[in-house]
Amino acid sequence: MRGKVVVVTGANGGLGRSVTRAFLDLGATVVGTSKTILQSDFAQPGFLAIPADLATQKGAKELTNQVMAKFGKLHVLVHTVGGFSGGPPVADTDDATMQRMMDMNFNSLLQVARAVIPALRASGDGRLIAIGSRAAVDPGPGVGAYSASKAAMVSLVRTIAAENRDAGLRANVILPGTIDTPANRKAMPNADFSKWVQPAHIASLVAWLAGDAGKEMNGALVPIYGGDV
C-alpha cells in the first residue's frame, strides 16, 4: 500500500482504529476522519486527521477537497461509520428511529461516496469498501430499522460497483456479525464474546480488498460472521 492514499471514516471508532492501523502498518498514507478525530489518536507516520461531518454533502465535499489539495490523489475509501438501534417490531418503530438509522448507516455513505467517486475514478484503480452488517441479508425480529438501513447501504455499494467498473473502481461491502468492541461488550455484557468478530480480522479483510488481490472483487457482499455461523 506504499504510495496509496486511504480515507477511513470513523477512524477513531471501535473498528475504525483497527482499520487505520492496518493500513498504516502496510505503508499507506491514511486520512482518518470523524467529528472528533485528533492528530494524536495515531502516533504512526503517514497519518493525517481531518475532522469532518459526513452527515452533510458540504462536509463530505470539504473533506475530499482537503485530501485532494494535500495529496492530489485518493485511492481507497473505507467507510466504517454506522450505528445500531433495536427493540420494537416494525409496527411499533417510530419515524425518528427509522430516520436516525437511515442517516447513520445509509446517508453518511451516500454523502461521502458522492464526494469521493470522481477522485477514485481518476486513480484508475480506486476501491470503495463499506462496513455493512449480517443483518442486511439475514434480518431478525426487533431490528427492522437497522436491517433496512444496512440493506440500503448494500444496494448503494453494488450500484456504485456497476456504474464505475469502466474506470477500474471496485466497490464492495463487508457483512460482519457482532463486532467485539468495548461499546458492544458494554451494551451486551451477558453475551458470548468468543463468538464475536475481532476488529483486527475485519481490518485484514479490508486491506485485502484494497490490495492487488482485491482487483477481482466488485459488487461483492463478503460475510465475516465470527463463531456464530
In which band, very low, low, confident or very high, does the pLDDT at 48 lie, cut at 50, 70 and 90? Answer: very high
Q: 211 — phi, psi (to 5°)?
A: -90, -170
The percent of residues above 90 in pLDDT, for the chain, comes to 71
Grid cell locating 12? 477513531
- pTM for this predicted structure: 0.93
| Structure confidence at residue 110 (pLDDT) | 96
Q: Which residue has the higher pLDDT, 141 or 154?
A: 154
Q: Which pLDDT score is estimated for 188? A: 85
**Closest to 196 in 3D by CA, of 228, 167, 160, 223:** 228
- Read off the pLDDT of residues 11-24 as tens digits, 9 standing for 90 and up: 999 899 999 999 99
One CATH from 3.40.228.10, 3.40.50.850, 3.40.50.720, 3.40.50.300 for 5-224? 3.40.50.720
Buried b (16+ CB within 10 A) or exposed e, 131-165: bbbbbbeebeeebbbbbbbbbbbbebbbebbeebe
pLDDT, position 65: 97
Predicted local confidence at residue 181, as pLDDT:
86
- Residue 229, pLDDT score: 64
Q: Which residues pair with 5 in a beta bridge?
A: 29
